[in-house]
């Protein structure tokens, strides 16, 4: 389970991440009063990316009556005095542990210019019919200017991700 | 050749508005784009553009997105590259990108698209 902390909870959700759910979460954030417009924008964009990461890559799927399926997982958004924190948790296949570990560490090791270059390289290398180029984490690191925090739990076959979005961004 | 129209729907906000007008030679993509299966959505649009240039040689292409996800980014590059190819073949193409004034991050992304696709994009800030 995701541990609750002393931060103030904004929203928490556990279930399938259908497009409708992702959209509703996004609309909730847009309706939340956030003073800094850039912070609100980056929170919204980060939220959509991490939610769609669960939708596409969670190893736990919900199959609906119409045959559609969607990734299952958990998401919460908290705030403290300095940050909004989005935390997600979902199941992953054991075979993806090392790849995900290397990928997240690689992103955290790159500077802003290198992240931009990697993003465009990944877009370039994406096959046409692929729905994602695994760009979301790179994009989040570029947007938030913060490292992504992650935990891989082999016993639980789970991946937990925390994205910190500043409550105040100076004009870049 | 028929126009390609998709009016944005409040209950399906992750699909963009599409207004590809054969008669006026103006194409517009608007609102938000964050569907999961971006290729399935954008392939018919790409096909329409290819077909368009069988009949016409002038096109104004306008991006009026207020948000797009990373899955859409690839399709944007695909569209820009197609337009660049058609321009290189001698067609008269103008690309305008209308940028929300409160979203400087989108400007950075558009600059990356422009550099990657090697095509000029007119960037217009809208309040």
The average confidence (pLDDT) of chain A is 91
pLDDT higher for B83 or A126? B83
Q: Is residue B49 part of a domain?
A: no
Any B CB within 8 A of A145 CB:
no
Q: What is the mean pLDDT of residues B1-28?
A: 96
What percentage of chain A reaches a pLDDT higher than 70? 90
Pick the CATH number of A8-166 from 1.10.620, 3.40.50, 3.30.565, 1.25.40: 3.30.565
- Nearby residues of A160 by Cβ (< 8 Å), 6 or more positions away: A2, A87, A88, A89, A150, A151, A153
Between these two residues, B60 and A122, which has the higher pLDDT value? B60
CB A59 within 8 A of CB A93: yes
Chain A residue with the nearest C-alpha to that of B108: A116
pLDDT band, residue B75 (cuts 50/70/90): very high
- ipTM score for this prediction: 0.92
Span between the terminal Cα atoms of chain A, in Å? 37
Beta-carbon separation of B14 and A55 below 8 A: no
CA of B2 vs chain A CAs: smallest distance (Å): 26
A126 and chain B: CB distance < 8 Å anywhere? yes
Q: Is A172 on the interface with B (CB under 8 A)?
A: yes
Task: Count how many domains chain B has.
Answer: 1
Residue of chain A whose Cα is closest to the Cα of B13 = A23
Query: Which of the two residues, B26 and A4, has the higher pLDDT score?
Result: B26
Task: Enter the pTM of the model.
Answer: 0.92
Q: Is residue B39 part of a domain?
A: no
Which of A23, A56, A123 is facing B13, going by the closest CB pair? A23
Q: How confident is the model at residue A5 (pLDDT cuts 50, 70, 90)?
A: low
Confidence of residue A1 (pLDDT cuts 50, 70, 90): low
Chain A contact for B15, CB < 8 A? Answer: no
Residue A126 has pLDDT above 70, yes or no: no
pLDDT at residue A161 is higher than 70: yes
Residue A150 binned pLDDT confidence (cut-offs 50, 70, 90)? very high
Please check whether residue A131 touches B, CB under 8 A.
yes
A172 to chain B: closest CA residue: B104
User: How far away is chain B from the Cα of A128, in angstroms, using its nearest Cα?
Assistant: 7
A132 in contact with chain B, both atoms CB, cutoff 8 A: yes
Per-residue pLDDT band at A3 (split at 50, 70, 90): low
Residue B42: inside a domain? no
- Whole-angstrom CA distances from A145 to A23, B32, B98 are 24, 24, 25
- Tell which residue, B118, B92, B124, has the closest CA to residue B25: B92
| Residue B65, pLDDT score | 97
**pLDDT of B5 higher than 80:** yes
The reply to whether B71 falls in a domain is yes
Instruction: Give the domain range for residue B84.
Output: 57-127
Q: How close B94 comes to chain A (CA, Å)? A: 23
Domain ranges of chain A: 8-166
Average the pLDDT over A75-96 and give the result. 95
Among B71, B82, B103, B127, most A C-beta atoms within 10 A, so best to mutate, is: B71
Q: Mean pLDDT score of chain B, rounded to an integer?
A: 95
Q: Look at residue A7 in the predicted model and tell me its pLDDT.
A: 85
Per-residue pLDDT at A2: 55
CB contact under 8 A, B104 and A171: yes
The per-residue pLDDT for B127 is 83
pLDDT range class, residue A133, cuts 50, 70, 90: very low
């Amino acid at each position: 389970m995701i541990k609750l902390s002393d931060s103030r909870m904004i929203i928490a959700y556990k279930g399938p991440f259908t497009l409708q759910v992702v959209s509703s979460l996004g609309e909730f954030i847009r309706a939340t009063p956030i003073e800094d417009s850039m912070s609100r924008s980056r929170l919204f964009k980060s939220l959509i990316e991490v939610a769609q990461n669960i939708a596409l890559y969670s190893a736990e799927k919900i199959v609906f009556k119409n045959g559609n399926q969607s990734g299952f997982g958990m998401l919460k958004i908290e705030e403290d005095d300095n940050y909004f924190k989005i935390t997600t948790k979902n199941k992953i296949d054991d075979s993806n542990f090392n790849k995900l570990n290397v990928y997240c560490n690689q992103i955290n090791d790159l500077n802003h210019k290198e992240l931009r270059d990697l993003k465009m390289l990944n877009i370039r290398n994406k096959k046409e019919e692929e729905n994602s180029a695994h760009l979301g984490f790179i994009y989040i690191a570029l947007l938030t200017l913060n490292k992504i925090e992650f935990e891989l739990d082999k016993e639980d076959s789970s991946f937990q991700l925390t994205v910190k979005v500043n409550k105040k961004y100076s004009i870049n | 050749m028929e126009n390609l129209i998709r009016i944005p729907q409040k209950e399906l906000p992750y699909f963009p508005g599409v207004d590809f007008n054969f008669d006026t030679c103006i194409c517009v993509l608007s609102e938000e784009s964050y569907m999961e299966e971006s290729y399935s959505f954008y392939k018919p649009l790409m096909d329409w553009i290819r077909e368009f240039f069988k009949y016409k040689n002038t096109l104004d292409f306008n991006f009026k997105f207020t948000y797009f996800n990373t899955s859409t980014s690839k399709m944007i590059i695909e569209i820009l590259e197609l337009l660049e190819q058609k321009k290189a073949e001698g067609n008269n193409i103008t690309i305008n990108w209308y940028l929300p004034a409160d979203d400087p991050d989108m400007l950075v992304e558009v600059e990356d698209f422009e550099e990657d696709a090697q095509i000029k994009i007119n960037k217009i800030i809208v309040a």
